[in-house]
Amino acid sequence: MGRSPCCDENGLKKGPWTTEEDQKLTEYIVKNGHGSWRALPKLAGLNRCGKSCRLRWTNYLRSDIKRGKFTPEEEQTILQLHSVLGNKWSAIAKHLPGRTDNEIKNFWNTHLKKKLIQMGFDPMTHRPRTDFFAALPQLIALANLRQLVEQRPWEDNTSSQVQADAVQAAKLEYLQCLLQSAAAIATSPSSSSINTIPTDLEQIGLLSPSQMSSLSSLSSPRILEGTNGQDFITGQLPDIQIPSSSFFEQPIINGSTQNSDYTANNCAGENSAHKPLFLSENSLPPLADFPISNLGDACSTSSCDADGNSAQLPIWSESFYDQFMSEFA
């Protein structure tokens, strides 16, 4: 397999395109089609290499290119597809009419990746990150939350119950994040990170000593051999519901997945006191709901409305978050 000669050779022009060059290229392609890219520059009267012409045409001059900011829908589509396809920008671009792979790649690198990292998710796996620094915001927030609950009795029973529920939900949420991470880690035989999770949980008061002992036993290889990372959890911690992994089973039709599964898939219709509010295992909530500054939202996810329908709301609603932040300001 040979390589095409570099543009540098023969003094071909590089760098930004002028309007005259754009015009020449466009006129030629509209009239004749691009044909052989290698031959095109000469035929079109351009002092560029074919590669440069192709890139300019496909990424900029084509008439069907959509310009402007990415819509939230496009953003979600990119996130979904990236969680399945990885950095297959051209494959992703096929599902976003008018967007080029280069544009999507740039958008990912400059916006989405940063958002995911900021939220504590690994941009490559779309799972919560497990290293200490990534989890630090959540750890701090939850530790503070615990302190708040213990040291400041609430004014009345109603607000106390509401806050206790919120704290419980937050704890469960974070526990879910850790357990998801554990499930991911479990597939990696070389990883030892899972051994640190029970310690983390105990230190921030998420688990009682008896729960700790149960969870500690989960580190055995036999239990962790579950095929989907769920078996070892569900039997041991009945209050924790792990959503099934449905995202990968959703076929992509007409440029988008059928499953808009950013919402928890296990809360609709449930009326339990402690609604489990969890991420679908392989998808993420809309990033639009996550201001980058809200580091405490890192493990937030969806909620249910009064009718039991899924709603794309962060578990840390704004009012709760505001109150939480004002307490510690």
Partner DNA sequence: AAGAATCCCAACCGCAAGTTG
Partner DNA sequence: GCAACTTGCGGTTGGGATTCT
Contacts with DNA, residue ranges (CB under 7 A): 1-4, 6-8, 13-17, 35-39, 50-52, 54-56, 59-60, 87-91, 101-103, 105-107, 109-111
Smaller CB distance to DNA: residue 8 or 155?
8
Smaller CB distance to DNA: residue 51 or 146?
51
- State the nearest-atom distance from the C-beta of 51 to DNA, in Å: 6
**R_g over Cα of the chain:** 25
- State the nearest-atom distance from the C-beta of 6 to DNA, in Å: 5
Query: What is the rounded CA–CA span in Å between residue 96 and residue 94?
Result: 6
- State the nearest-atom distance from the C-beta of 67 to DNA, in Å: 8
Smaller CB distance to DNA: residue 66 or 274?
66
Smaller CB distance to DNA: residue 38 or 146?
38
From the list 191, 83, 220, 171, the residue with the least C-alpha distance to 131 is 191
Smaller CB distance to DNA: residue 232 or 290?
290
CA distances from 226 to 62, 143, 183, 219, 279 (A): 49, 31, 9, 12, 20
- State the nearest-atom distance from the C-beta of 81 to DNA, in Å: 11
The DSSP string of 164-223 is: HHHHHHHHHHHHHHHHHHHHHHHT-TT--GGGGHHHHHHHTT-S-HHHHHHHHGGGSHHH
CA distances from 321 to 116, 293, 311, 315, 328 (A): 19, 12, 18, 9, 11
From the list 317, 306, 23, 325, the residue with the least C-alpha distance to 170 is 317
- State the nearest-atom distance from the C-beta of 10 to DNA, in Å: 13
Give the number of other Cβ atoms within 10 Å of residue 91's Cβ. 15
Query: What is the rounded CA–CA span in Å between residue 122 and residue 127?
Result: 6
Residue that is written with structure tokens 């953003």 in the block: 75
Query: What is the rounded CA–CA span in Å between residue 184 and residue 128?
Result: 9
- State the nearest-atom distance from the C-beta of 41 to DNA, in Å: 11
Smaller CB distance to DNA: residue 7 or 212?
7
- Asked if 251 and 265 count as a contact pair (C-beta separation under 8 A), the reply is no
Smaller CB distance to DNA: residue 35 or 308?
35
- State the nearest-atom distance from the C-beta of 324 to DNA, in Å: 24
